[in-house]
Every structure is written in C-alpha cells, then in structure tokens.
Amino acid sequence: MLVGLITFICITIWLSFYIYLGSISLYSEAEKVITQVQKKRHALSEMTMAARERSILLLEMYIVEDVFDRDAIKVKLDYAASHFLKNRQIFEKSELSSKETKLFNEALQLISTNVPLQAKAAEMLIDNKMDSAGEILFHSAMPNQTNILLKFNEIHELIENDSVGKIASLKDQLNTTNRYILELIALIIGGAFIILIVFYFRFKNRERDLKFLVEERTRDLNKAHEQARSLIKNSSDGIISIDKDQNIVMFNPAAEKMFQYGASDVLGKPLTVLLPDEVQGHHHKLVTGFEEDTSYQARMMDSRPEVLGKRCDGDTFPAEVSICKTHIENETYYTAFVRDVTERRDAEAEIRRLALVDSLTGLDNRHHFERSFEEDITYHNRFPEHQFSLLLIDLDLFKQVNDTYGHPVGDKLLQRVAQILKNNVREVDRVGRLGGDEFAILLKEVGGENQAAMVSEKLIHALSQTHNIDGHAVQIGASIGIAICPETNADMGELFKHADNMLYASKAAGRNTYQIYSPQS
C-alpha cells in the first residue's frame, strides 16, 4: 500500500513536471501568436488610416479654393501613399492565412483600380476642373475607397477571429493540461473552469442612390411651352432673365423666395438691384464680355461661378450662377440659373471642422493636435525662450467601465474626461484625444518639471474622483507621461517617444501617477 502510494506520488510529480514544461511551451507559442497578430493588426491599421487620410485629403482638395493649397495637399497624398506601401510590405511579410491572403489580394485589386482615379481627380483639382473632378471623386473614387475600407475591415475581423481562435485553442490546451494535474492531485483542487469570450460584430452598409431628372420630349410647341413654364415655376433654382439692356424680364418663384422680392417689384428694373454695390461695375464688364467673347460664353455655360446676391433687406448671400444666352424673335436674352449655396458653405465649414475635431469629445483629433504641435515646435526652435511640456494621459480601469456598463456609458465618461481636462488647463494650452482612452496636453510656456508636475497632480486628482454617469458610480484613474522640451532642436517624434516611455513607466509604477522625462535630468 505504501509502495503503491509512493509510486503514485512519484508518477504524479513526474507527470506534473512534464505537463509544466508543456505549459511553458504553450505560453511561448501564445506569445508568438500575439506578437504576430499585433504586427499584422498594426500594419493593417496603418494602411486603413492611410486610405482614410487619402479620402479626407481629396475632400479637402475639393473644398479649398486656393490652387497652392491643393498642391500642398497633393504632397500629403503622396506621403499617405508612401506610408501605405511601407505598411503593405510589413503586412505581406507577416504570416497570413489563405483567407487573409485572398481578402488582401481582393483589396489590392480594388486599390489598383482606385489609385488612378484618385490621381486623376487630384490632377483635375489642381487644374481647377472642379466639376469633372467631383464627378470622378463622388461617383467613382469615394465609393471605391469605401469598398476598400470595408475589405480592410473584413481582414481585420478575420485576423481578430483567427487570433481569438488560436489563443482560445492554446488556452484550452493549457486548461486541459492543468485539469490533468488537478485530477492527479484531487485533494488540492477539484476542477478547472474555462472562460470563453465571444465578440459580436455589427455591420452596417449604407448606400446612396442618385436620381436624375429626365425631361421628356414634347410633340408640339404648346406642350413644350407649358413644360417650360412649369419648370420655371417649380424649379428649386432661381431663374432670372434679362434683356440686352440688362433689365429683368423674368423672375421665377424660387428667385422671389431667394431674393425676397416679388416679381412685380423687379420686372423692368436693372439687374443691379439684386447685386451688392461693390460688384455692380464688375457685373457690367462680365455681361459685356459674355456678349463679345464666344470662348468666355462657353466657359460661363460649362461652369457655375460663385457670386454675391443681395436680398430685399440688403443682406448678401453666396450663390452659384450658370448663364446661357438665347435669341427669341431677333431679341437677345441672358438667363441665369441661381442657386443659394449658403447651407452648402455651412456644411463645408462643418466638414472642415470635423476634420480637425474628435467627434465624440470635441477636442483636437490626433491629426490636428500633431499638426499644431509641429507648428509650436517650429516656433520654439526659433524662439527657445518659449518653453512647453507634453503630457500623454491614459485612463486607468477604462476597459472595465466599458465591459461593466457598456459603451454608451464609456462614451459619456470620455466626454466627462475631456471636459475635466479642459477645465484644469489654461485656454492657451492645447488638449487633444489621440484615440481610445488616450489624451494629450501641450502646456505652453511651461518648461519646468515642477509646473508640469503640479498640473499632472491636479489632473490625476480630478480624474480619480467618483463620476456619476447615467446613475452609475464610475471610478477611474489616470497614468501620465511627461516630456519637457529641450532648449534647442526640439523634435515632435522624440518628445512623443519620451512621453510615451514615461507613460508606460507610470503604468508600471502602479498607475494613477505620473513620470517625467526632462532633457536636463
């Protein structure tokens, strides 16, 4: 009996040691899988960001009016393409499954089709061919770019699912190994539990359909006249006709609504009543040129130049105008199709704002923060007496908040954090959200460790308080990495690297604290 028990113990010890070695091998394999997934995920994320940036830059080229600004944006487009190719090489060198390879090849095929379209649209924008560029951009290039991003999302999901499967498999083997050990030493522990985490993904595809108005040919002149009257009456664009003396002879309802004049108030009066005083002389020259220069006529009819209109109350508004020339019974008339673009200009301004601001928190987004940071560094390198400090902030326990209360509560918490950050710094300081739960603050005219430390302590204290979000008492903290700028030759990349290293040091030090990198230390 004793011999049998000793034999059993020896066998148990031997098996436990053997399985322990197997566990170490499994841990090593898991680390290899995680490293490989992180490498693929980072390269794919960078390619996706570069593709999105090209879309934003193309839209920005379409919005800006200065040709030189478009040239500058074109340089950024080339940089985004170079960044994409660099990460593409990294991604292709990583270990890809057959499904990942197939989806990536499909995405590359779409890219090879879309890149010439984007390049063509960019060249047209540089040449100021806005209508043609817009046709390519919004009817071909942008929808294709959306499909490319969807392909990248599919690859990302495939990588995530594959990594989850591999890691789950390794965990299962490890738990099985542990269960064997526990069964051999049943007096110590009775079982093992395996926790499975299931990720749910939601997909929403949005499509926009474009509708075109087709005018049917009429069989007789009366029907054609009736259709013309209906078109003029119901057109959403203002339609204004003038005679050779530039007196108004037609003023449709849309023009009445746009200019706030009744037709009876303006018919027979000169067109200048609808124009601001400062552009009336220029308008006379345009009409004269339209009459004498046939090439100018063609340009005016093929484009929609923007002019200023004047309402009855004297207010001015931007309007797009398309002009055509007609001859009726030996009389010459000029007809202008006028469209109030006030709402579109407001929408374009909002698009430009959204390109610079994080939509959730209202803070600077990464792109705007880094661009402003570069400008501040340039200014500092010219005037070294203007010091600054960079703070990188990562929220502690934020993932638990999302897992426990859901993403809506997490989003509201991020908005609360953004407000706290803005309230605890000066107006001259810059606050941005770099992504997820990571924020950055640029403290201007703050070049000493003590000042940066005081601000960090104040921020940590404010963020560590209990936050009431939708009736939930939420507790988080913050780890902060600080980089003090050098007196000369400041570099954004180096400062971000130092601040990031200090951030990780804060995490390692127990979280809810800060670490400072100073070039003098």
Residues with active-site annotation: 437
Give yes or no for a contact between 398 and 466, defined as CB atoms under 8 angstroms apart: no
C-alpha dist (Å) from residue 466 to 412, 455, 471: 14, 20, 12
Helix/strand/coil percent split, the chain, to 5: 60, 15, 25
Tokens, residue 457: 């302590």
Question: What phi, psi does 478 have (nearest 5°)?
Answer: -150, 135
* CA distances, 310 to each of 278, 340, 455 (Å): 11, 11, 52
Q: Rounded to an integer, what distance in angstroms lies between the CA atom of residue 492 and that of residue 500?
A: 12
| Residue whose structure tokens are 């942008």 | 142
Q: Is 391 exposed, middle or buried (0-12, 13-18, 19+ CB in 10 A)?
A: buried
- Within 13 Å, how many C-alpha atoms sit on residue 131's CB side? 9
Element at 91 (helix H, strand E): helix 67-93
Separation of alpha carbons 356 and 433, rounded Å? 11
Nearest Cα residue to 145 out of 434, 344, 153, 41: 153
Q: With beta carbons less than 8 A apart as the criterion, state whether 318 and 341 touch.
A: yes
User: Is residue 196 helix, strand or coil?
Assistant: coil
Give the separation between CA 324 and CA 150, rounded to whole angstroms. Answer: 43
Pairing of strands 477-484, 514-517: parallel
Residue 195 tokens read as 């926790």
CB-CB neighbours of 256 under 10 Å = 17
Beta bridge partners of 395: 478
Q: SS3 for 53-76, per residue?
A: HHHHHHHHHHHCCCHHHHHHHHHH
Helical ranges in 97-220 per DSSP H: 98-126, 130-136, 142-184
- Note whether 145 and 51 are within 8 A (CB): yes
On the CB side of 315, CA atoms within 13 Å amount to 10
The secondary structure of residue 236, as a DSSP letter, is S
Asked if residues 287 and 240 have their Cβ atoms less than 8 Å apart, the reply is no
Q: Are 357 and 365 in contact (CB under 8 A)?
A: yes
Task: Look at the block and give the residue holding tokens 């030189």.
Answer: 68
- φ/ψ bin of 246: left (φ > 0), alpha (ψ from -120 to 50), beta (otherwise): left
